[in-house]
Amino acid sequence: MKENNSSAQVRRFQLSFLYSVPIGILGGLIGLGGAEFRLPVLASVLGYSAQQAVPINLGVSLISIAASLAIRGSLLSFDLVFLLLPVILSLIAGAVITAFFGATMAGKLSNEQLEKIIFWLLVIIGIALIIEGFLPQEIPALLPASLGWRIPAGILFGLAIGLVSSLLGVAGGEIIIPTLVFAFGVDIRTAGTASLLISFPTVLVGVIKYASRGAFSNRTILKNTVAPMGVGSIIGAIIGGMLVGIIPASILKIVLGIILNISAFRVFHKAKSHAA
């Protein structure tokens, strides 16, 4: 029995790494972390419940963001990002509030209720990716340049970002980057760096809140899932970054949006069948 359990843990370690690398590559190709695609893997292939999968995904997201910030910090200038500081701080302010309360809310939901919420959020993100694939990369800012407009709007957008982050265990780049590009008129490269700065405190608050509820007390999960997925995600993101331009990001977003919707349906349908 002990030997079977040990073999299962080794297999989980291997699968965690093997799945996270290609997910990281795809995320790197479109400028996202890929956490949305990790969640169905955690909930189906690795066999975690929704209540377990979300904090695990959040922990992996924190590792990925920290690594991405370190890499970008050594390669890029943050001058353009500093010009966006009022917008970034307003987004963070809204996001950390709902990241805290979202983690609390997730703990009060049944596993079935959380699965339904995850399903619909993944479907919405998948549709958003498909729509974004058809949109031009740069359009004029939808919001006026006045801080009187931008700061309240940033807080409101941040509230949505933090909620999605805490309920899915994602960094939120799939929402933050389009928000910065389309609502605030930020160029895509600066938006990518700003997204990491917004995501880090948001995810950190979520991780701390989940940790306070004992979500990371099982060292085996940290060792056999969070660690290998974190390393695999970093490796994949680096490879994806090197391959940028080989396939147009717009086409990839459309394809990945479709895949995300299919994955969300399969996991939800499986959960629904088991519940029945």
Q: What is the pLDDT of residue 276?
A: 46
- Are the beta carbons of 40 and 264 closer than 8 angstroms? yes
Selection from 185, 173, 206 nearest residue 36 by Cα: 173
- The 10s digit of each residue's pLDDT in 254-270 is 888 898 899 888 886 65
Torsional sign, CA 191, 193, 196, 198: negative
- The 10s digit of each residue's pLDDT in 29-74 is 776 778 889 999 999 899 899 999 999 999 999 998 888 888 776 6
Q: How far apart are CA 61 and CA 203, in angstroms?
A: 7
- The 10s digit of each residue's pLDDT in 128-174 is 888 888 877 666 778 888 889 999 999 999 999 999 999 998 888 88
- The 10s digit of each residue's pLDDT in 218-262 is 889 999 999 999 999 999 888 887 776 677 778 888 888 898 899
Q: What is the largest CA-CA distance in the chain?
A: 65
Give φ, ψ of 138 to 5 degrees. -130, 125
> Percentage of the chain surpassing pLDDT 70?
91
Q: Map tokens 């989940």 to a residue.
A: 210
Q: What is the pTM (predicted TM-score) of this model?
A: 0.87
The amino acid occupying position 34 is G
Mean pLDDT of the chain: 86
- The 10s digit of each residue's pLDDT in 103-136 is 888 888 888 889 889 999 999 988 988 888 887 7
- Are the beta carbons of 158 and 90 closer than 8 angstroms? yes
The distance from CA 12 to its chain's CA centroid, rounded to whole angstroms, is 21
Selection from 29, 32, 23 nearest residue 247 by Cα: 29
Is residue 7 pLDDT above 90, yes or no?
A: no
pLDDT band at 9; cut points 50, 70, 90? confident
Tell me the helix, strand and coil percentages in the chain, rounded to 5: 80, 0, 20
Q: Map tokens 């009060």 to a residue.
A: 108
pLDDT band at 178; cut points 50, 70, 90? confident
